[in-house]
């Protein structure tokens, strides 16, 4: 097995590099400086050299608010980049693993009642912001490419590398006495080390198609922050606020929980409870004492 990782310097890409290194799996890691997935010729040149038997695409434009100001940039990476990469994979008969987001769904308040365990893989999609629209376009390009693919949707992604909500809260918990956190957006975190663990099993078993991956239970961002501070021993004053009070450029979905029953059945595994995943992540972060890298 020879794996090429694009977006290898981001949060999820770095997790894959670490995981494959520990597993002793040959891999070529490409940051955006080594392989720009929006450049067809560069894709052919670089992947032609490494000759992978699988491509794992972690490259993405992830700035949700920035995408509102620069929808063309978000579309270039999240849509056209995926199109070019998956077309190369189809032409060379190389399977591709691609990651998408809970933000492809409408996130309506009524959906929280309609889907108490989260959106299914084939639930109706209607993004509420430019980031979600660019990611959905990428999904559609992937499906149309003809390549063999695994499409993994994740939500509230967090891990030991890069920037994420857990690390932001830990930093703010040290620097600020009072923190406002949204209490009317519902979902569940996905931990990057669980992504690599479960998706690698899907790859080895030859699975294809769309899967959702998240942790058990449904919480608000406020509940998530409360537990982060409880487990970490920090004690800033937390103030729950509505989405309207917490002004952000991009609209966020009210509800974006992902139903992970399909991957649980396929792998015959129970997805871990979110508090357990958080505890493990905090232990990982404490071992390196770094909330920013």
Query: Which residues are catalytically annotated?
Result: 131
DSSP H helices in 6-129: 11-23, 40-50, 64-69, 71-75, 82-91, 109-114
Contact criterion met (CB below 8 Å) for 252 and 129: yes
Q: What is the DSSP letter of 205?
A: T
**Backbone phi, then psi, for 199, in 5-degree steps?**
-70, -35
State the Cα–Cα distance between residues 195 and 214, nearest whole angstrom.
9
Closest CA to 29 of 9, 53, 5: 5
- At 29 the three-state DSSP class reads strand
Torsion-angle region of 99 (φ positive above 0: left; ψ -120 to 50: alpha; else: beta): beta
């Amino acid at each position: 097995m020879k794996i090429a990782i694009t977006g290898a310097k981001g949060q999820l890409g770095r997790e894959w590099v670490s995981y494959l290194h520990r597993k002793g799996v040959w891999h070529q890691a490409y940051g955006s400086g080594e392989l720009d997935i929006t450049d067809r010729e560069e894709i052919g040149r670089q992947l032609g050299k490494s000759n992978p038997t699988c491509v794992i695409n972690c490259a993405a434009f992830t700035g949700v608010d920035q995408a509102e100001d620069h929808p063309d940039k978000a579309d270039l990476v999240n849509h056209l980049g995926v199109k070019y990469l998956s077309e190369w994979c189809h032409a060379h008969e190389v399977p591709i693993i691609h990651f998408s987001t809970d933000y492809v769904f409408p996130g309506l308040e009524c959906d929280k009642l309609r889907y108490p365990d989260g959106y299914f893989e084939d639930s109706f999609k209607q993004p509420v912001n430019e980031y979600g629209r660019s990611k959905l376009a990428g999904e559609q390009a992937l499906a149309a490419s003809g390549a063999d693919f695994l499409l993994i949707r994740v939500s509230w992604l967090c891990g030991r590398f890069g920037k994420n909500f857990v690390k932001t809260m830990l930093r703010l918990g040290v620097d600020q006495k009072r923190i406002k956190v949204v209490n009317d957006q519902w979902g569940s975190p996905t931990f990057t080390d669980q992504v690599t663990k479960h998706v690698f099993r899907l790859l080895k078993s030859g699975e294809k198609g769309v899967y959702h991956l998240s942790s058990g239970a449904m919480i608000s961002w406020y509940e998530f922050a409360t537990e982060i501070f409880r487990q970490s021993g920090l004690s800033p004053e937390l103030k729950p606020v509505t989405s309207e009070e917490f002004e952000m450029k991009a609209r966020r979905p009210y509800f974006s929980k992902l139903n992970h029953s399909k991957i649980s059945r396929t792998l015959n595994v129970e997805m871990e409870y979110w508090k357990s995943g958080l505890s493990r992540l905090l232990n990982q972060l404490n071992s390196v004492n770094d909330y920013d890298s």
